[in-house]
Structure 1
Amino acid sequence: MEQVFRGYYQSPIGLMEIQASDKAITAIRFCEERGAENPNAVIRECITQLDEYFSGKRKDFQLNLAPKGSAFSRKVWGALCSIPFGETRSYQQIAAATGNEKACRAVGNANRNNPIPILIPCHRVIGKGGTLTGYNGGLWRKEWLLKHEARG
C-alpha cells in the first residue's frame, strides 16, 4: 500500500490540509485544525507554489496531480485546468469541452467532488449568467479566489 503524506498550509482563505503520494498531490481540503504531519518533497513544493499563488507571483501550478475519480470527472478536471488564470467558464462551456453540452449537472457534480481545489481550479466555473454557484469551500472563498485572480 502506498504511503500517504500530509502537510498543512495556512492560506489567506483558511487552513488547508494537503495530501500526497511520493510522486503527486492527491487531495487538498479546507480544515479547522492541524493534525499529524509527515510532509514530503511533493507537499513542500506545493506549499511553495501556493505561497507564490496567494502572493500574486504565480498564475499556474507546476505540480503532479493524481486526483481519484471517475473517467468523466477526470475529463472535467482536465478541462478546468485549461481555464486560464483570471478567466471563468460556465458549466455549459465545460460540458461542451468534455464533448457533451447537456452534461451541465454532471460537470457540477464533478466540480463538487474535485479533490484538489485551487490546483484544479473549479472556482473558475460560474453559472451561465455570471452568477457564483456552489463551491465546496464556501461561496465566500470562491469569490475571494476570483477577485484575487482578477487583480492579476
Structure 2
Amino acid sequence: MNIAQYTLFPTAIGDCCIAWRGEVVVAASLPEKTPAATAARVVKRTGARRAKPPPAIDRAIQSIIALLEGEKVDLSFVACDLGEVDAFAKKVYAVTCAIPAGETRTYGDVASELGDKLFAQRVGQALGRNPIPIIVPCHRVVGANGKLTGFSAPGGVETKLKMLEIEGAQLGGPPALFDDLPLAVKPQK
C-alpha cells in the first residue's frame, strides 16, 4: 500500500492540512495553533509525508479555499477513503455531506434521517471522530434550535461559528421580521 502524503494550505481561517493516497483524500485537519501542529495531527493519524499535491487533490484544496472565502462550493466531487470508519459513521457522513453550504441541520435531524431521532447522541459521537472535516462538513450540524454545541476540531465552537458565518448560515431559527432592516427603521421595543 502506498504511503499517504500531505500538504498544508492557507485559508481564511488559517492553515489547513490535507492528506491523500493517490488521488483520494484520507484525512484533513482544521488549523491548530501553529501550522506544524496542524500537520502533526494529520501525520499522527496517517503517517503521511509532505508532498506536492496531484491535480485532483489540488482541485480539492482550491475548492476548500473558495468555500472558506464564502463561495457556495459543493465538495461532493472529492474522492475520500472512509475505509476505517464504522458503518454507522459512514451513514452519518453521507447525510452530512448532503447539507449545502450555508445551511445547517440538527443532530436530531441527521438522526431522524437515519431512522431514529434517538440516534442523535451517536450522530454527535460519529461527527466528533470525523477524519475529513470541511469535506465532510460536520460544522453544519448543530444542536437543537441552532445551538452551537461541542465541536472537537481545533478552535472548538469558535471555529465552527466562524465557518458557519463565512458560509452565511442562519443560526437559531428563522430571522425575525425586522432583522434585515437598517437599525434606524427597526421598531423600538
Fold match by TM threshold 0.5 = yes
Q: Is 2:78 the partner of 1:63?
A: yes
For residue 129 of structure 1, give the secondary structure of its aligned residue in structure 2: helix
1:3, 1:22 within 8 Å by CA — same for their partners in 2? Answer: no
Alignment of 1:86-101 (within 5 A): 86-101=102-117
Offset of 1:149 from its aligned partner? 0.9
Which structure would you say has the larger Rg? 2
Which residue is 1:18 aligned to? 18
Which residue is 1:3 aligned to? 3
Structure 1 spans left out of the alignment, 5+ residues: none
Structure 2 spans left out of the alignment, 5+ residues: 40-48, 170-189
**Which residue of 136, 139, 148 maps to 2:157?**
139
Offset of 1:17 from its aligned partner? 1.6
> Could you say what the CA RMSD is over the residues aligned between the two structures, in angstroms?
1.9
Q: Could you tell me the percent identity over the aligned residues? A: 30
Distance 1:54 1:6 in 2: 19
Distance 1:110 1:69 in 2: 9
Tell me how many residue pairs correspond in the alignment. Answer: 152
Distance 1:57 1:63 in 2: 17
Mean alpha-carbon deviation: is it higher for 31-40 or for 129-138? 31-40
1:9, 1:16 within 8 Å by CA — same for their partners in 2? Answer: yes
Mean alpha-carbon deviation: is it higher for 8-17 or for 19-28? 8-17
For residue 158 of structure 2, give the secondary structure of its aligned residue in structure 1: helix
How big is each residue's C-alpha offset from its partner over 1:60-99, in whole Å with a ceiling of 9 and x where there is no partner? 1121111331000000000001112211111011011112
**Which residue of 121, 130, 137 maps to 1:114?**
130
Distance 1:129 1:46 in 2: 32
Offset of 1:58 from its aligned partner? 4.1
Please report the TM-score for the alignment, with normalisation by the length of structure 1: 0.90
Distance 1:121 1:50 in 2: 11
For residue 102 of structure 1, give the secondary structure of its aligned residue in structure 2: helix
Offset of 1:23 from its aligned partner? 2.6
1:88, 1:124 within 8 Å by CA — same for their partners in 2? Answer: yes
1:11, 1:54 within 8 Å by CA — same for their partners in 2? Answer: yes
**Which residue of 27, 33, 36 maps to 2:35?**
33
Please report the TM-score for the alignment, with normalisation by the length of structure 2: 0.74
